[in-house]
Structure 1
Amino acid sequence: MEPSTIATAAATISTVSTITSRRRKRKIVVIMGPTGAGKSRLSIDLATRFFTNSEIINSDKMQVYSGLDITTNKISMQEQLGVPHHLLGTIDPTKSVFTPSDFLKLASEVISDVKSRRGLPVIVGGSNSLIYSLVTKRYDPKTEVFNGPDPFPVSSDLRYDCCFIWVDVCLPVLNQYLSKRVDEMLDSGMFDELVEFFRSGKHKTVNKSGLGQAIGVPEFEAYFKQIQDFRRPDGGDSDEAYGEAVRKIKDNTCQLAKKQVSKILRLRDAGWELKRIDATEAFRAVMSPEHSGARVAEIWGKQVVEPSMKIVNQFLDE
């Protein structure tokens, strides 16, 4: 046999082997991206309009805990539109910290359960360490691939056949939106929620390395200690202290988004096949003084939902 024929045959066998291997793996969809980028909204759009057998598995390491629903920005029951959600507000925050290994165990069980009903598991959240633990075939909790001066290499050997959708927003635009979102969260009850959290003493019972680290908790803990009361600012020093707490929340939220993007880039550079969806124009429209809900919805639909739907459809048809 000619060398060229042998090479062609080998390449064909390799391709068939790869396809067969992928087909043996269970298919899941992973929607990732920085905080505030619209991951939950996209997951609901896809689940209600195109993939109605979808069930969503939360992969936000603060939203897994029960309590502080506004502060951790959990999607509300009304916003879920009847789509089943798992690992959302189900973990006791007074117990040990919920680790990536814990997520691997529980999320794997949920995926198996969803698959047994012929459903489509959709992993949604910004905690890339949780996503990594779940999808990496030989996850080792002793290895740190994202942090430290000399992180371990990222593994590309995955236990599932994954469709990774990365919802990306230009950071300056996202930062502007995140600042606005913090103000909206405070207006919708975040401050009152934190007042109750501290006044009731719940802050003393939650694990400081778990829910106690949620953005908003340490910032307002410092505020309440400074004014020595659980009340809204009423002028003078309390106004200044409140403003400082809010500024820190906004800064820390923007820093979180930046770190999350850097971790996503690390996964991409390691060979993970991430399908980037640029949602920047939709967020620019939201921030425009002349914005209308209809215009934002139109841009979101055309530039985010439709391309994501096509990506998932193609993935499921392979």
Structure 2
Amino acid sequence: MELRQLRYLISIIDFGSFSKASGQLNVAQPALSQQIANLEAELETPVLIRSARGVVPTEAGVRLYRQARIILSQVEQAIAGARLSEFGDQFTGAVSVGLPTSTSTMIALPLIKKMRERFPQIHLRIVENLSGYLLEMLLKNRIDLAVNFSEEAVTGLSVEPMIEEDLFLVTSDPKDADVPIRLSDVASLPLSVPGLPHKMRSLIDSVCEQQKISLNVIADVDSLPVLRNIAASGMANVILPQSALAAPAALGNLYSRPIIEPRVSRPVSICRSEGAPKSRAIDATLDVLRQLVKELILDGTWRGVRLHEELADRAPSKDLEPRYKARMATKVNPPDFSSHLEM
């Protein structure tokens, strides 16, 4: 068994396709298929099920996939450790961060910029997807860190609250922009919101149930770009956090109003797997992410949020300051965006 076979298997399962994995790995598809065939022959069991709808792992493939993620992570740590012994306090390795779409819109680019400035030898991978799916990836060691919209403890995960994020009424009408609006008045307007089991919809429904309020929902839409376009077109109003408005709408201007009586808000936490291998690269990325969130809030870029007390009091870790020594030039891969839609 070769490490490249494990890398190929991980990529194929992640993308659900030989062709997509081939493009990502820059390996010809016949060569990719041959390596997986060699792997299955060595294991004497199939690891993938191929069909016209894509590729899914067998039970043996799932078990191998999980172990492969751990093995490759340990290899990266070993390489990073060898470099550290030769070059001092250098930070190297790959770190994958899972972000829901609205959070990604707000912090992905600033995070990449800060990581490139402070830790250029860390290869950052941004994975955008539904928060629930990101937690599943985290538990399977497919990513290293993930943002989640909950403070509740999850078995096998370390959950660190960061902020509380308010939800706003978003509309194309500039009248009364930034003027608070009662939830009971929001209920009388035509609305489009995510459908269940989306966490934002669960939160909205829970608050409305407590207040004995029924919303006038004309369409359930799980797409953030589509929700922004619906609001900008004037077809309906939507309910979103300010982070979701960081990118411009395609069809026009958007205006927001704070929802009050009661205020509707959601917790935002950062999670990591308790059983995954530890690395200084992950610790460094987590520290940069924490400080970035604080910076975006304190300078007014990220509106409608409140810092969790623990994060507000947390100072940057002095143990994670890179101290570089002269070394041979190494190739630094560009950031990797694996983008799926969520809010």
Same fold, TM-score > 0.5, yes or no = no
Higher percent of residues as helix: 1
Higher percent of residues as strand: 2
Tell me which interval the TM-score lies in, with the shorter structure as reference length: under 0.3
Q: So what's the TM-score if we normalise by structure 2?
A: 0.24
